[in-house]
Amino acid sequence: MDDIGGRIEESKNWFERAAEHIPGYKGYKEKELRREADKLQRTYVAERLEDARRVLEELVLDISRQGDLKLLGIVDTENRKLRTIKDRVLYADYGYAGLFDTVKVDEDMLDQLYAFDAQMQEETRALEELINALSAGSPSLRSDLELLDQRLDAMAEHFSAREHLITGVGR
């Protein structure tokens, strides 16, 4: 998923390459390809976040088997935060702006959105590593969950900055 734009460019057929020579079409198509790359990037990130969330659900089962019910609420809170972030990433605005829309999205903004989403991919990898390292029997589980909480809050803030980029407002 590292170079989605390159893959999309390579996948163009002869008709799409020929249509690029029509005045005005090339710029329109490039914006559409940027939006598509952004959407693919976010879908990939959301799938990875969902996988991480499932690992947290397994942790809940392991903790409940050990009988340490105090940590269940903490893990459940982190699980809900992770689900919320995943949903925000998956259903985020992908930079479309119609002819009469108030907020206009140009190529520079689409590139910035893609950069935000690429950064989210890196943050997701780090988050996955942390979640995969969690263990119900670990003596540092409580502090590891606090670190997870901080990372989830930072990821939510990062994504709010993305929303602010598009709309001028955020959460």
pLDDT under 50 in the chain at which residues?
1, 96-103
Q: What is the pTM of this model?
A: 0.76
Q: What is the pLDDT of residue 108?
A: 78
Q: What is the pLDDT of residue 127?
A: 96
Q: What's the domain range around 106?
A: 4-167
Please count the structural domains in the chain.
1
Instruction: Detail the DSSP E strand segments found in the chain.
Output: none
Q: What is the pLDDT of residue 92?
A: 82
CB 121 within 8 A of CB 170: no
pLDDT digits (tens, 9 = 90+) for 35-53: 787 788 889 999 999 999 9
Q: What is the pLDDT of residue 7?
A: 63
State whether residue 36 is helix, strand or coil. Answer: helix
**For the chain, give me the number of helices (H) and strands (E)?**
6, 0
